Amino acid sequence: RAMSGRAEAIQEELEALESMYPEGLRVTHGHDARAQTTVALDVAPRTLDDETRQYVRVTLRIVLDDDYPAAAPSLSLTDAKGLDDARIATVMGRLRDAADEHAAPGDPVLALLCETAFETLTELNHPDGDCAFCLEPMWRADHPSSRDHSAEAFTKLAKCYHCFHASCFARWYRW
């Protein structure tokens, strides 16, 4: 059975994504009446694969509706780690802006959206909130020590992404 021009274009775009993101990309094709395609990509900051320096993570979920690429796909973020509601809203805003400002209607935007998500998470890659031990902010843009994203500055719990000042954690651990 021959694919339509739209289906071929989407298939080519999905194949390009699979080559760009060999790990963490999942594509599912719906078989109901709407037959939507869903792309899910695990997104983490680019830290040369040093997970100890990754303080945020999210799954970008892109749903290709029947009118894609003529209309923008539906976007959502799931399984967010280390991101509060304000920073999730920042990521969503940047994704929408990228699609609106850098692509004409009908242009493929999947790679643009994925790259925007990676770039934004890399920019937002710092612990947020307060240290559970000293109750001081984990990170302040105006504080020189906050610019040090090294593993020595913060301690991150691997599963939940809760962060503490390394010195506070060390004092607690010795106690």
Architecture of domain 5-123: Roll (3.10)
Q: Where do the structural domains in the chain lie, given as residue ranges?
A: 5-123, 128-175
Q: What is the pTM of this model?
A: 0.84
- The DSSP-derived string for 108-163 is --HHHHHHHHHHHHHHT-S--SB-TTT-SBS--TT-GGGG--STTTEEE-TTT--E
Q: Each residue of 35-68: pLDDT tens digit?
A: 789 999 999 999 998 888 899 999 999 999 888 9
pLDDT band at 33 (very low <50, low <70, confident <90, very high): low
- pLDDT of the residue at 151: 45
Q: Each residue of 139-168: pLDDT tens digit?
A: 766 554 545 544 457 777 767 888 888 888
